[in-house]
Amino acid sequence: MHELIRQLLAELGEDPSREGLLNTPARVAKALKFLTSGYDANIDDVVNGALFTVDYSEMVIVKDIDFYSMCEHHLLPFFGKCHVAYIPTDKVIGLSKIPRIVDVFSRRLQVQERLTNQIADTIRDIIRPLGVAVVVEATHLCMSMRGVEKQNSFAVTSAMVGVFRDQVRTRMEFLELIKLRSVVSATRDSASTSLACMAED
Ligand SMILES: [Zn+2]
Which residue in the list 83, 112, 118, 197 is annotated as catalytic?
A: 112
- Give the pLDDT score at 132: 97
* CB burial readout 153-172, b (16+ within 10 A) else e: bebbbbbbbbbbbeeeebbe
List the catalytic residue out of 2, 72, 149, 176.
72
Interval 166-180 mean pLDDT = 91
Q: Give me the pLDDT at residue 143, please.
A: 87
- Identify the pLDDT of residue 146: 83
71 is catalytic: yes
> What pLDDT sits at residue 198?
64
pLDDT at 49: 87
Centre of ligand 1 to C-alpha 195, Å, is 11
pLDDT of residue 150: 61
pLDDT digits (tens, 9 = 90+) for 41-100: 999 999 988 899 988 889 999 999 999 999 999 999 999 999 999 999 999 999 999 999
C-alpha to C-alpha distance for 200 and 112, rounded to whole angstroms: 16
- Beta partners for 192? none
CATH number for the domain running over 48-183 = 3.30.1130.10
| Number of neighbouring beta carbons within 10 Å of residue 89 | 14
Residues 6 or more apart whose CB falls under 8 angstroms from that of 155 comprise: 112, 137, 138, 140, 195, 196, 197
Please give the pLDDT value at position 191.
42
Q: Where are the domains of the chain?
A: 2-35, 48-183
Q: Let me know if 101 is exposed, middle or buried by CB neighbors in 10 A (0-12, 13-18, 19+).
A: buried
Distance (angstroms) between ligand 1 centre and the Cα of 73 equals 5
pLDDT in tens, 102-160: 999 999 999 999 999 999 999 999 999 999 999 999 999 988 888 776 656 789 999 99
pTM, two decimal places: 0.88
Which entry of 14, 73, 167, 173 is annotated as an active-site residue? 73
- Ligand 1: centre distance to CA 155 (Å): 12
Query: How remote is the CA of residue 103 from the centroid of ligand 1, in Å?
Result: 19
> How confident is residue 183, by pLDDT bands cut at 50, 70 and 90?
low
Q: How far is the CA of 199 from the centre of ligand 1 (A)?
A: 6
Residue 7 annotated as catalytic: no
User: How many angstroms is it from 134 CA to the middle of ligand 1?
Assistant: 21
Active site residue 72: yes
